Amino acid sequence: MALKDFNGAVAVVTGGASGIGLATARALYAKGAHIVLADINGQGLQQSVEQVRQQVPGATTKVLGVTTDVTNESQVQALMQRALDAGGRIDLVVTSAGIGRGGPIDLFSAEEMRAMMNINFMGTFNCVRAALPAMRQQQRGHFVFLSSVAGKLGSPLLTGYTASKWAVRGFSMALRAELYGTGISVTTVYPSWVETPMIHQEKDAMQYLNIVAMLTPDQVASEILQAVQEDKRDLTLAPNQDIALVLEIMKSDPDKAEMLVGEDFHQRLQHLIGQQIQ
């Protein structure tokens, strides 16, 4: 059953101190939802709670900030309990907490890979395990998982990120099938580059990754709200022509798509190496 009206709904948003999570929380609050923001960055979280509150002066709906590491199962359980204590139900869980490090596989350590899988994938899993009992009791609820176009393609220099986002995608598909007929829905979001602090973390890698951000967090947030209301399973947002083309080819000929991505990366690398030698 689609969540058509956000007015009075209780929404938990992880990664709520920044970027897409914060923008989604603001959009939901503007539509009358109670918001429980979660993030590992406690200081950023408090500022975000204020930001969300201030945009609708006089609103009577609640905004809470709960400092949470999504990789920590008991902290995520406590987060969902706080939402239940405050609002009596959990209508929507948006899992936007994530990290986006990249680099050549030769230099990518097992520790970095574990962090990637723990935050991007296990964080999502932990939220589902913790919120599902309440949603089952309510016989309704909606999860929104932030994957990425990297969850549909193989992205050079983003092997760990890609693996974690494919994991989110596979998990969503299996979960949706398992929850069929329960009234609980899952929307998986696959954006290309979005203008948030995440894409500025690795200045050196920017030129190799060819990052062109054509989406804003507010645009993604507005698309997310619409996708929830329409009970969409797949929300792919790829305004970048090159990415959109490869995604299209991927549907009918994944081998060709993989080869094109590899060729393009190889050519770009040769060009950059040539420039550095001159």
Ligand X SMILES: NC(=O)c1ccc[n+]([C@@H]2O[C@H](COP(=O)([O-])OP(=O)(O)OC[C@H]3O[C@@H](n4cnc5c(N)ncnc54)[C@H](O)[C@@H]3O)[C@@H](O)[C@H]2O)c1
Binding residues (CB under 6 A) for ligand X: these are 14-15, 17-21, 39-41, 44, 68-71, 96-100, 119-120, 123, 146, 148, 191, 193-194, 196-199
Q: Given the structure tokens 């918001």, which residue do they identify?
A: 35
Question: Cβ 233 to ligand X, closest distance in Å?
Answer: 17
In the annotation, is 180 catalytic?
A: no
The residue whose two tokens read 């990120």 is 161
Closest approach, Cβ 22 to ligand X, in A, equals: 7
Q: Min. distance of Cβ 234 from ligand X in angstroms?
A: 14
Q: Which is nearer to ligand X, 4 or 99 (CB)?
A: 99
CB closer to ligand X, 90 vs 146: 146
- Nearer residue to ligand X within complex by CB, 141 or 217: 217
Distance (Å, whole) CA 16 – CA 273: 39
Residue with Cβ nearer ligand X (87 or 123): 123
Give the whole-angstrom CA distance, residue 202 versus residue 187.
29
Contact 147, 189 (CB under 8 A): yes
- Residue nearest to ligand X according to CB distances in the complex: 19
Q: CB of residue 2 vs ligand X: minimum separation in angstroms?
A: 23
Give kind and range of the element (H or E) at residue 29: helix 19-30
DSSP state of 20: H
Q: Which of 29, 161, 180, 208 is catalytic?
A: 161
**H runs (alpha helix) in 100-202:** 110-116, 123-138, 159-178
Residue-wise DSSP of 189-234: EEES-BSSGGGGS-HHHHHHHT----B-HHHHHHHHHHHHHTT-SE
The tokens for 162 are: 């890609």
Helix (H/G/I), strand (E/B), else coil: 161: helix
Of the pair 10, 97, the CB lying nearest ligand X is at 97
Min dist CB 181 to ligand X, Å, is 29
- The set of catalytic residues is 161
